[in-house]
C-alpha cells in the first residue's frame, strides 16, 4: 500500500545531510510519496514533524550534531531525541531517528549512510499494521 513519508532534515552540516538524505530515500520503496522539509538545525526537527503529524503516515528525522567545547551538544541531542520519541508514541506514528551524534567530522562522514537505517526502521514499523492475528477458540474436552 502506498504510504506518505515526510523527511525533515537539518542542513547545518550540508554535506552530511545530503548523505543521510540520499541513503534514506534510496531505501524507501519508490511507490510511496516522499516529501522533504529542510530546517536549519536538529532542534527544529520535532516542531516541524509536530506541525505535519496528521498529514503523513511516517517520518524521518535526519541531521547531525557534532560535539564542541560546550555542553550544547548534550542538550540539543537529548532534547531532539526525547521530543521525537514523545511525538511518535503520542501519535502512534513511526519516526525514524536518523540524527547522528558524533565527536568529530570524520565520525560524521563515516556515519552519513545512517539515513538508510532510520528508513528501514520506519518501514518495519509500518509493516506491523499489515498483519492480523486470528485466533480460533477450541474446545477442551474433559478426559
Residue 138 has pLDDT above 80, yes or no: no
- Asked about 134 being catalytic, the answer comes back as no
Q: How many domains does the chain have?
A: 1
72 domain-assigned: yes
Instruction: Look at residue 33 and tell me if it is in a domain.
Output: yes
Q: For residue range 105-132, what is the model confidence (pLDDT) as tens digits? A: 999 999 999 999 999 999 999 988 555 5
Predicted confidence at residue 124, as pLDDT, reads 94
Is position 64 within any domain?
yes
Query: Cα(114)–Cα(64) distance, rounded to whole angstroms?
Result: 10
Residue 137 lies in a domain: no
Residue 82 phi, psi (nearest 5): -60, -45
Q: What is the CATH number of the domain that holds 84?
A: 3.40.50.960
Q: Is residue 68 included in any domain, yes or no? A: yes
Please check the confidence at residue 13 and state whether its pLDDT lies above 60: yes
Catalytic member of 14, 35, 51, 72 = 72
For the stretch 38-89, pLDDT in tens is: 999 999 999 999 999 999 999 999 999 999 888 899 999 999 999 999 999 9
For 79, the domain range is: 4-128
- Region of 92 (left: φ > 0; alpha: ψ -120 to 50; beta: rest) is left
Whether residue 99 is contained in a domain is answered as: yes
Q: Which pLDDT score is estimated for 17?
A: 97
Instruction: Give the Å distances, CA to CA, from 47 to 43, 57, 71, 93, 134.
Output: 8, 17, 22, 15, 39
Answer whether residue 124 is part of any domain. yes
Q: Look at residue 135 and tell me if it is in a domain.
A: no
Amino acid at each position: 500500500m502506498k504510504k506518505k513519508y515526510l523527511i525533515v532534515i537539518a542542513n547545518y552540516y550540508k554535506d552530511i545531510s545530503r548523505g543521510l538524505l540520499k541513503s534514506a530515500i534510496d531505501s524507501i520503496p519508490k511507490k510511496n510519496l516522499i516529501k522533504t522539509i529542510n530546517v536549519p538545525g536538529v532542534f527544529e526537527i520535532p516542531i516541524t514533524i509536530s506541525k505535519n503529524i496528521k498529514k503523513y503516515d511516517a517520518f524521518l528525522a535526519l541531521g547531525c550534531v557534532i560535539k564542541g567545547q560546550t555542553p550544547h551538544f548534550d542538550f540539543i541531542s537529548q532534547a531532539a531525541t526525547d521530543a521525537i520519541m514523545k511525538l511518535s508514541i503520542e501519535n502512534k506514528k513511526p519516526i525514524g531517528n536518523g540524527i547522528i551524534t558524533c565527536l568529530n567530522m570524520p565520525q560524521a562522514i563515516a556515519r552519513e549512510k545512517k539515513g538508510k537505517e532510520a528508513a528501514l526502521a520506519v518501514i518495519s514499523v509500518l509493516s506491523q499494521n499489515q498483519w492480523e492475528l486470528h485466533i480460533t477458540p477450541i474446545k477442551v474436552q474433559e478426559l
